[in-house]
């Protein structure tokens, strides 16, 4: 007989683990029909099947409270068939929005702020953006919260730079949620699946928040990448350092470092840390100031932006066995390489 699913009450929201009412429609999660314990077992089996031939697979380190952990929440806005303003996430493999008011994984305060903005749109007679017609105002809302710092950033992604009653809207939002530390308007008037556009205006505060990770403080802007589960990030990084067994004499290479969080986290225990990214500062500045062109909108490859703006790219042929893992056959190739290297 199939195992009976357990349901664990989730205090404030009333949502039960293993019983998400939207998991069949929502494009955000794929395992919320399972209890957290069942999710961990499922992932453990997957890891053993993938890596068990090459090494001993330890037990997955789960969370004590695996709910409302996401420090970044974004919601798309639209009108339903009754012209009511809705917000939520896109249904899997579609552009249809599934209305979400409470989510098991999203920060509760972020969900609350998004609900307030949904009501304010109606009060201020502002309409959601329509992707088909290119008309309307609000496309998305992005909320980032520092769990340790307590700082909250709200990004209003609009389809136009014009923001009617901007000061009154922001003042009302801050009156309802004085815990918000910064509000940013980001303009995205392109036909694209990307959430954020290239133009931003700070409407309140500094335009960024700070968050602590270990002994370090990081500045997080609207476009900055930061690990979405801060609790497990610290567990992951501490476990990585434990496995590395650094003595203070090593050079640590943080490949594809992004903001460099793991390299910085390791720096007190290493002699030297080198962060490696694929673009230099000049190239990154170019990306910030230059919108996507025709080719990049068709095929989302960042190099297209250089080519369309007649910027020469230097290529170097190297002898390497690296490959992209996009298909089951690619995975088999990786396994063959690993076996050869071990032999």
CATH number of the domain within which 105 lies:
2.40.50.1070
**138 and 189 in one domain?**
yes
Q: Which tokens sit at 226?
A: 């930061």
Give the pLDDT confidence score for residue 278 in this predicted structure.
Answer: 72
Number of structural domains found in the chain: 3
Give the pLDDT confidence score for residue 68 in this predicted structure.
Answer: 92
CA dist 22 and 268 (Å) reads 44
**247: CB partners within 8 A, 6+ apart:** 269
**131 and 109 in one domain?**
yes
CA dist 87 and 27 (Å) reads 14
| pLDDT tens figures, 261-295 | 889 999 999 999 988 877 666 777 777 777 777 77
Give the pLDDT confidence score for residue 29 in this predicted structure.
Answer: 78
Q: Which residues of the chain fall short of a pLDDT of 70?
A: 1-18, 27, 93, 279-281, 296-302, 315-328, 341-343
Give the pLDDT confidence score for residue 2 in this predicted structure.
Answer: 34
CA dist 271 and 251 (Å) reads 6
Q: Are 145 and 107 in contact (CB under 8 A)?
A: yes
| pLDDT tens figures, 293-306 | 777 666 656 677 88
In a domain, 286, yes or no: no
- Residue 20 domain boundaries: 1-66
CA dist 230 and 227 (Å) reads 6
Q: Which tokens sit at 66?
A: 């695996």
């Amino acid at each position: 007989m199939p195992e009976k699913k357990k349901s664990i009450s989730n205090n404030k929201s009333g949502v039960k683990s293993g019983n998400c009412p939207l998991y069949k429609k929502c494009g955000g999660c794929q395992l919320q029909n399972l209890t957290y314990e069942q999710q961990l077992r499922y992932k453990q089996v997957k890891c053993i099947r993938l890596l068990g031939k090459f090494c001993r697979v330890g037990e997955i380190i789960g969370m004590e409270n695996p709910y409302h952990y996401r420090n970044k929440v974004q919601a798309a806005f639209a009108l339903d068939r009754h012209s009511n303003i809705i917000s939520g996430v896109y249904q899997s493999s579609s552009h249809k929005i599934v209305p979400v008011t409470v989510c098991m994984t999203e920060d509760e305060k972020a969900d609350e702020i998004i609900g307030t903005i949904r009501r304010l749109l109606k009060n201020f007679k502002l309409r959601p953006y329509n992707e088909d017609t290119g008309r309307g105002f609000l496309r998305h809302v992005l909320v980032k919260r520092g769990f340790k710092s307590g700082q909250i950033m709200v990004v209003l992604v609009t389809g136009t730079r014009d923001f009617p009653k901007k000061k009154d809207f922001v003042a009302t939002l801050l009156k309802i949620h004085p815990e918000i530390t910064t509000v940013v308007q980001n303009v995205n008037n392109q036909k694209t699946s990307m959430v954020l556009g290239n133009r931003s205006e700070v409407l309140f505060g500094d335009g960024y928040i700070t968050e602590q990770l270990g002994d370090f403080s990081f500045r997080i802007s609207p476009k900055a990448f930061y690990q979405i589960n801060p609790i497990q990030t610290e567990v992951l990084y501490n476990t990585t350092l434990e496995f590395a067994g650094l003595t203070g004499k090593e050079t640590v290479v943080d490949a594809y470092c992004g903001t460099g969080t793991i390299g910085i986290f390791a720096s007190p225990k290493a002699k030297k840390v080198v962060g490696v990214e694929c673009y230099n500062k000049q190239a990154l500045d170019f990306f910030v100031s230059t919108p996507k062109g025709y080719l990049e909108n068709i095929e989302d490859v960042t190099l297209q932006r250089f080519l369309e703006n007649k910027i020469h790219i230097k290529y170097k042929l190297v002898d390497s066995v690296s490959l992209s893992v996009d298909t089951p056959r690619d995975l088999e190739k990786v396994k063959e390489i690993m076996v050869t290297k071990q032999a």
